[in-house]
Chain A
Amino acid sequence: MSKIVEETAKEAFGKVTDEPILEVKNLKTYFPISSGKWFNKETKYLKAVDEVSFYVNQGETLGIVGESGCGKSTTGNSIIRLVEPTAGEVWFKGENIATMKSREFKPFKKNIQMIFQDPFSSLNPRMHVFDIIAEPLRTNKMYQGKDLEQRVYELMDTVGLDPDLANRFPHQFSGGQRQRIGIARAIAVKPELIICDEPVSALDVSIQAQILNLLNRLQRDLGLTYIFIAHGIPAVKYVSDRIAVMYMGEIVEMADKDALFKATLHPYTRKLISAVPSTDPKKRTIGEEQAIADELNQGESDVVGCKFADRCPLARAHCREVRPDLRQLRSGHFVKCHYPLEQEALEENV
């Protein structure tokens, strides 16, 4: 039965996708962990990304949320091949960039850029801001001499930095300004897709909004497509058009933003959303101590059934035996669960 569901999911992908700029199919990134024995070594794998499939449409923002260790950053790194994926396909504008030789992949690097989390470690402390922003332009031989200068100043202006500061070193800037430098570097080569890996989580609250608004403005002005990876659910909600929720290396739910929050299908998504404290003190949601489910075990274990079953309040015997597939329940709303929430409500009513 699972085969059939998979087929329908694949078909569905084909239908919904209007103009996908990026399509990820069954992406797997495993890291070997050697077991303790000296002889007779059997290699175990940490399944950081396990059969992940999704697509991103031109000009939209796909948010990827999940808790630490769920594989969201590894997914981003695998797309841009900072880590080599173990298996699967990544289609970018009609080419499978996951299996290309690195020489063939090189021209694509220009089209996919990345914004990193830590504005303190993502800039080379020994380089001037000018050189940091110019590096991608020089590498790709896009501008030279006066044009290069012009372009760097223009980029600094675009992200809201004074071009007069081009000769400073990164440590002379605050966190928010450094993140602006990182953004200028990412948009320098006019990419189409930018993977933002936790771009605001290291910043002060009042600076986060500045950066989120800057990203929004750049998307509008430059027609960018974003993959926005973060653990902060409110921030993801703010910037994303569609959201994918990851749990232990898998996408468990993916839908339009509103559908995800209003018609949540996966129990994990519901748990995740309800755990976020509301900013209204009259609507306190967190109860006094609930039952403790043990926390995730980093995806090492070889669970046969659903990976969330151990923590799921609604798990049934079937969940522990058979791994659910990602299937489309409504148009554009995918879920990896045998007993999705709304259906369950229906069944109970009957």
Chain B
Amino acid sequence: MSEAAANLEQKEKKSSSSISNLSIFVKLLLKSKTGMLGLIILLIATFVAIFADLLAPYDPVEPHLSYILTPPAWQEGGTSQFILGTDNLGRDVLSRLIFGTRVSLIVGVLSVVVAGAIGLFFGVISGYFGRWVDQVMMRIVDAFLSIPSILFIMVILTVFSPSLWMLIIVIGLTTWVNYARIIRGEVLSLKEREFVKASQTIGTSHWIIIWRNLIPNVMSTFIVISTLSVATTIILEASLSFLGLGIQPPDISWGGMLNDGRDYLATHWWMGTFPGIAITVTVLGIIFLGDWLRDVLDPRL
């Protein structure tokens, strides 16, 4: 009789849940205006970064000496040749902005990858094994937390010469602790869940439990923190470049452009304002997307 009952259960189920997860995902994305906006901004930024060579009207480092400090096209004295104007060396602001997208996104994404990998490893291991492993690993995290990160980065970057890769590694090394702490907390509660215990009673090895039970279940949290920290890293990179410790000329970054524009802010506002807007818009877009992801990924799915 219970077979019959079960069959019946299944029939009920079959009709109800045949919609795939992906389509729900898309539907929810279409419903959220901010999430959609975030995604569009990020997609545009990525597109621009990839096709910078094709999109930029000029070589971003090429000085147009006769057009030094030309205002944007719509202002008096502006020319349609340089839509967003030129800087103090006569370089096209628009082209520099387009190429700057590359650096910002690369630094943003790759240092998050570095930080995320270290943080995930630390968090999962110390949360799952607990006891002295946890003690040791969390003290290391505390040590990292107690150093002012900007100071740490400045010291490293003055000792080693600042390059793109150095920047990525250094930013990654200072931000991983956030991941470690949050993931550890998540793992602490996950490992008390009964499905982890069920695996233990079967005799599943620790590494398989970590791989199959823990990591997939912290993934949603991980994705959300990662997205949001792409935003903070972009700002961090901009601040470092602004301080002159980031990307070195002739490479272009938004922070560097801000730095260049600082002295001209009162007289030639476009030099600093456009990179500023670019940073703000990109970061906002990523935060919108991250917030939306948090809403969607949190319940289960």
Interface residues, chain A, CB within 8 Å of chain B? 77, 80, 82, 106, 109-110, 112-114, 116-118, 121-127, 135-136, 139-140, 157, 159-162, 164-165, 168, 171-174, 176-177, 180, 182, 185, 189, 210, 213-214, 217
Check B6 against A82 for contact (C-beta < 8 Å). no
User: Between A and B, how many residue pairs show CB distances below 8 Å?
Assistant: 95
Tell me the bound Cα distance from A181 to B213 in angstroms.
17
Interface residues, chain B, CB within 8 Å of chain A? 2-3, 5-7, 9-10, 13, 17, 193-195, 197-205, 208, 212-213, 216-217, 219, 300
Tell me the bound Cα distance from A173 to B17 in angstroms.
9
Check A172 against B203 for contact (C-beta < 8 Å). no
Using known A-B contacts A124-B212, A126-B216, A126-B217, determine if residue A114 contacts B6 with beta carbons closer than 8 Å: no
Q: How many whole Å from B15's CB to the nearest CB in chain A?
A: 12
Q: How many whole Å from B3's CB to the nearest CB in chain A?
A: 6
- Residues of B close to A118: CB separation below 8 A: 194
- Residues of B close to A126: CB separation below 8 A: 216-217, 219
Check A113 against B204 for contact (C-beta < 8 Å). no
Tell me the bound Cα distance from A123 to B199 in angstroms.
10
Q: How many whole Å from B64's CB to the nearest CB in chain A?
A: 56
Partner of A176, one of B9, B201, B212: B9
**23 residue pairs from A and B, CB less than 8 Å apart:** A82-B197, A106-B203, A113-B201, A114-B201, A116-B194, A121-B194, A121-B195, A122-B194, A124-B217, A126-B217, A127-B216, A139-B205, A159-B6, A160-B2, A160-B5, A161-B6, A161-B10, A162-B6, A165-B13, A171-B300, A176-B9, A213-B2, A217-B2
- Residues of B close to A168: CB separation below 8 A: 13, 17
Partner of B198, one of A106, A176, A182, A217: A182
Q: How many whole Å from A169's CB to the nearest CB in chain B?
A: 8
Q: How many whole Å from B194's CB to the nearest CB in chain A?
A: 4
Q: How many whole Å from A113's CB to the nearest CB in chain B?
A: 6
Check A116 against B198 for contact (C-beta < 8 Å). yes
Tell me the bound Cα distance from A125 to B208 in angstroms.
16
Using known A-B contacts A116-B194, A121-B195, determine if residue A109 contacts B202 with beta carbons closer than 8 Å: yes
Tell me the bound Cα distance from A126 to B216 in angstroms.
6
Check B202 against A165 for contact (C-beta < 8 Å). no
Check A125 against B194 for contact (C-beta < 8 Å). no
Tell me the bound Cα distance from A89 to B216 in angstroms.
37
- Residues of A close to B208: CB separation below 8 A: 139
Other CB < 8 Å A-B pairs besides A116-B198, A122-B197, 18 of them? A80-B201, A82-B197, A82-B200, A110-B202, A112-B201, A113-B202, A114-B197, A122-B193, A124-B216, A124-B217, A126-B219, A136-B204, A139-B203, A139-B208, A140-B203, A168-B13, A172-B17, A210-B5
Check B199 against A135 for contact (C-beta < 8 Å). yes
Tell me the bound Cα distance from A136 to B203 in angstroms.
8
Tell me the bound Cα distance from A77 to B192 in angstroms.
12
Q: How many whole Å from A78's CB to the nearest CB in chain B?
A: 12
Tell me the bound Cα distance from A153 to B64 in angstroms.
73
- Residues of B close to A180: CB separation below 8 A: 6
